[in-house]
Amino acid sequence: MRFTKDHEWVELEGDVATIGITAYAADQLGDVVFVEVPDAGKTVKAGDGLAVVESVKAASDVYAPISGEVVEGNPALGDAPETVNDQPEKGGWFAKLKIADKAEFEALMDRDAYEAYLGTL
Amino acid sequence: MSDETLKTTPLHQAHIDAGARMVPFAGYSMPVQYRDGVLKEHLWTREHAGLFDVSHMGQARLRGVSPLSAFEEITPGDFIGLKPGKQRYSVLLNKRGGVIDDLMAARPDDDGLFVVVNGACKDNDFKVIDNELAGQVTIERLEDRALLAVQGPEAAAVIARHLPAAARMVFMDSRAMPGFGTNILISRSGYTGEDGYEISVPASEALRIWELLLEDPRLRPIGLGARDSLRLEAGLPLYGHDVDETVSPIEADLAFAVSVKRRAARDFPGAARIAQELEEGPSRKRVALRILEGAPAREGAEIADEAGAVVGVVTSGGFSPSLSAPIAMGFVPPALAVAGTKLKVIVRGKPQAAEVVAMPFVPHRYVRKL
């Protein structure tokens, strides 16, 4: 699993990347009440908006950490957005992307680097 | 505004110690939530009782030969008819009938009028009052007082243990009384739709009273995040969002704040516009919207009719913890302001079904008689 400074995580299986937000990010957002996930077929570049996650108070954009084509948005979040809080790094994933460039994944932080980064916040 | 220039309330350290996330609000560093988070804090207040630090709000005494009649020059309320021991909701009006701020004005005792205004507006409000009523009233800003709100179905029981006399007050009663080992001003009112009290205490006593109140397990500290979602469910407008200097009290569905006697006399700022809107109807009206599908519609989202034409805008919106659904307030033409009207809200470019519903979203539980 790799991480971004925006507190997203990426897990790669073959050429499909699963993307979500970290436990730290989920805690900062508070209780998630709605998630807008992307439709299959949408292509995104690293840094594009990928999903929107909403708490009682505010809407926050989730940006694509790497480029690719959306294979699937997490269908379970429609009825159970709280999964983002309960299992942020597992069932609370937002989207799966078919990626073109594995180097983008390799360039992200590993868990040790991410945890060191959290220590600086 | 950088953190260094933010003001703090006397309870600042207590908020931090309770795990609050502090945010800038109205020039103050204020707790937006504590460890429980907005959702749980909101539901706790609806089920039990919440304690809010609202010391950022502006408290003042207006004194003079006849401060009640003077106050009528800048508001549409019947203040000459305000009896001792009572509080009234009102609005400061500009010459165009727009709302400079909304406020509570009370007679807790015989010492003039006690007013509480919004924190973000207080400097301007007191300047306006000072300018408009120069020579008639003097303003003493009570910057040495904190303001606490205790709100929720168990608020009365929590307060009765400390202040038995408060149990004999009803909604919108106001009293100066000895309490908590000091002198307090207390009203039975609030900004959540629940029964409860707002208590003005000396700043030097605020921390002791805050901690004393929190010894009661029915009461928990509640942040501004839940205060906002609670007032939204209660259909109460938030100044600067749902109401501003361009909006009249009639448009804002606050006609109750324009007294019948004053309507006939037409002797307040903007009376011509307000009288016309009362007779012919305003061009837009604040309504409550249930969002029937999709994401919460937040401030700034456009409202469209069923054909897709933009007819208005959302001024407050979010997720209702009590209803487990998105709700919003916004302005639409009166023809579309009738409960049951189907509308759309445009969120991130997508139209979502919405419906005008009766205000409030969650029934008020004010104690109007004992």
B89 and B82 Cβ atoms separated by less than 8 Å: no
Q: Which domain holds residue A15?
A: 2-101
Q: Is residue A108 part of a domain?
A: no
User: How many domains are there within chain A?
Assistant: 1
Span B283-357 CATH architecture: Beta Barrel (2.40)
Please report, for the domain that includes residue A51, its CATH number.
Answer: 2.40.50.100
B229 part of contact set with chain A, CB < 8 Å:
yes
Structural tokens at position B311: 């007819």
The C-alpha of B355 sits at a distance from chain A's nearest C-alpha, in angstroms, of 19
What are the per-10-residue average pLDDT scores of chain B (370 residues)?
A: 80 98 97 96 98 98 98 98 98 98 98 98 98 98 98 98 98 98 98 98 98 98 98 98 98 97 96 97 98 97 97 98 98 98 97 98 97
Domain layout of chain B by residue ranges: 3-57+143-233, 283-357
B22 part of contact set with chain A, CB < 8 Å:
no
Residues of A in contact with B348 (CB under 8 A): 36, 52
The C-alpha of A57 sits at a distance from chain B's nearest C-alpha, in angstroms, of 6
Structural tokens at position B195: 């029964």
B225 part of contact set with chain A, CB < 8 Å:
yes
B64 and B113 Cβ atoms separated by less than 8 Å: no
Q: Nearest by CB to A31, which of B37, B298, B348?
A: B37
B10 part of contact set with chain A, CB < 8 Å:
no
Give the closest residue to B332 by CA, choosing from B273, B251, B234: B251
The overall average pLDDT reported for chain A is 96
Cα atoms in the 13 Å half-sphere on the side-chain side of B77: 24
Q: Nearest by CB to A56, which of B38, B295, B348?
A: B38
Q: Is residue A55 part of a domain?
A: yes
CB contact under 8 A, B296 and A33: yes
Distances from the Cα of A90 to the Cαs of A12, A14, A95, in angstroms?
13, 18, 12
- A56: nearest CA in chain B? B319
CATH topology of domain B3-57+143-233: Gyrase A; domain 2 (3.30.1360)
Interface mutation target, options A27, A28, A33, A121, chain B, most CBs of B under 10 Å: A33
Q: Report DSSP state, residue B355.
A: E
Bridge partner residues of B202 (DSSP): B145
Give the closest residue to B110 by CA, choosing from B69, B67, B139: B67
Q: Report DSSP state, residue B10.
A: T
- Match 């008819």 to its residue by tokens: B81
B361 and B232 Cβ atoms separated by less than 8 Å: yes
Q: Is residue A114 part of a domain?
A: no
Looking at residue B62, its amino acid is L
How many CB pairs below 8 Å do chains A and B form together? 46
Instruction: Report ipTM (2 d.p.).
Output: 0.89
Q: In the prediction, which pLDDT does A100 show?
A: 87
Q: Which residues of B308-326 are buried (b: 16+ CB within 10 A; e: fewer)?
A: eeebbbbbbbbbbbbeeeb
Interface mutation target, options B23, B36, B38, chain A, most CBs of A under 10 Å: B38
Give pLDDT tens digits for A103-112: 999 999 999 9
State the distance between the two ends of chain B, measured CA to CA, in whole angstroms: 46
B296 part of contact set with chain A, CB < 8 Å:
yes
Q: Let me know if B17 is exposed, middle or buried by CB neighbors in 10 A (0-12, 13-18, 19+).
A: exposed
How far apart CA B115 and CA B214 sit, in angstroms, is 27
Give pLDDT tens digits for A30-74: 999 999 999 999 999 999 999 999 999 899 999 999 999 999 999
Q: Nearest by CB to A34, which of B39, B228, B296?
A: B296
Residues of A in contact with B32 (CB under 8 A): 57
